[in-house]
Amino acid sequence: MTPADKSEESAGPTEKTRDRVTKGSDLLGASRAVSDRVGTAVRNSYLYRWLTKEPEPEVIVIDLRETWTVGPIIALFDRLIEWLAPYWRESTPKRALDRVVTLADRTAGTRAGQLLGTFLAPPEPPDSDGDGPADAHGDADSSLSAETSDGETPPPSNR
């Protein structure tokens, strides 16, 4: 028994019938040929290559205020903020927020505030090479080296 016979046995009765009917069809053959050519043309087109190419590592800046889609929305927000700004300056929520900021500034100088700041600080971003940060001595992570009691950083340890 050939592999083709095995695949025909595993196929259901409707698949066998469909394969038998479409096997010699000139119309389906022509449509497949056209779809293959269209697919090849699309994949070789400039637009398809442009849309699917890897982005360049450069930073591209787009001024959204100059776009047709987002520009009017930004202009509307600018007008709305200019209209609401005087009301915000005299509002109770702003005064309460100012008190919270003042309290946070005073607390930041205390040990508890520094501990809370360390706890809430975002993590360092990963390096692009994936090896982790390295200092001039080649340590894997110089941020782990603690300062001594006199403020000096101890020499790197041999790991």
Residues 123, 96: Cα–Cα separation, whole Å: 30
Instruction: Report the pLDDT averaged over residues 73-85.
Output: 94
Instruction: Report the pLDDT averaged over residues 92-112.
Output: 90
Q: Report if residue 44 sits inside a domain.
A: yes
Q: Report if residue 43 sits inside a domain.
A: yes
Residues 71 and 107 in one domain: yes
Instruction: Report the pLDDT averaged over residues 86-105.
Output: 92
Q: Are 120 and 113 in contact (CB under 8 A)?
A: no
Residues 34 and 78 in one domain: no
Residues 138, 155: Cα–Cα separation, whole Å: 12
Residues 87 and 112 in one domain: yes
Residues 67 and 35 in one domain: no
- SS3 readout for the chain: CCHHHHHHHHCCHHHHHHHHHHCCCHHHHHHHHHHHHHHHHHHCCHHHHHHHCCCCCCCCCCCHHHCCCCHHHHHHHHHHHHHHHHHHHCCHHHHHHHHHHHHHHHHHCCHHHHHHHHHHCCCCCCCCCCCCCCCCCCCCCHHHCCCCCCCCCCCCCCC
Q: How many domains does the chain have?
A: 2
Percent of the chain with pLDDT over 90: 19
Which structural domain range is residue 75 located in? Answer: 63-117
Residues 68 and 107 in one domain: yes
Residues 46 and 80 in one domain: no
pLDDT digits (tens, 9 = 90+) for 9-50: 555 667 777 677 777 777 777 888 888 888 888 888 888 888
Residue 86 banded pLDDT, cuts 50, 70, 90:
very high
pLDDT value of position 155? 60
Q: Report if residue 134 sits inside a domain.
A: no
Residues 24 and 69 in one domain: no
Full-model pTM? 0.33
CA 80 vs. chain centroid, Å, equals: 30
Q: Report if residue 42 sits inside a domain.
A: yes
**89 pLDDT more than 80:** yes
Residues 69 and 113 in one domain: yes
**Both tokens of residue 140?**
């894997």
Q: Report if residue 76 sits inside a domain.
A: yes
Residue 78 banded pLDDT, cuts 50, 70, 90:
very high
Residues 25 and 70 in one domain: no
Q: Report if residue 9 sits inside a domain.
A: no
Q: Report if residue 80 sits inside a domain.
A: yes
For 84-98, b where at least 16 C-beta lie within 10 A, e where not — what string?
A: eeeeeeeeeeeeeee
pLDDT value of position 48? 81
Torsion of CA 63, 67, 72, 77, to 10 degrees: -20
